[in-house]
Amino acid sequence: MNIRACPACGSISLAFIGGGANAIFDFTGASALSGLFHCDKCNKDVLPIEFDSEKEYAGFVELLTESASEQAA
């Protein structure tokens, strides 16, 4: 099981958009897909973080939540 999440907000609501600034051009000049996704929650274009399990993903979300609450204080 692979879980893709936004590195900025932790959302898994991502839509593939492809190329952009991170596109790689091969020897024919064709653009290779960079893996760029658009996050519906924070409205950013990101390269997602991939997690192998829900436990790893939950730990990441917990760290984001702790970081956000510390910044708010």
Q: How far is CA 47 from the centre of its chain?
A: 5
- The CA distance from 43 to 6, in Å, is 10
Closest CA to 3 of 55, 45, 42, 38: 55
Considering the entire predicted model, what is its pTM? 0.73
- Looking only at the bridges linking them, the beta strands covering 31-32 and 24-25 are antiparallel
What's the confidence (pLDDT) of residue 16?
85
- The CA distance from 7 to 12, in Å, is 10
For 34, the 3-state DSSP assignment is coil
Q: What is the mean pLDDT of residues 51-70?
A: 92
Q: pLDDT digit string (tens) for 4-59?
A: 999 999 999 999 886 555 455 544 444 455 678 899 999 999 999 999 999 999 99
Higher pLDDT, 53 or 68: 53
Is the pLDDT confidence value at 66 over 70? Answer: yes
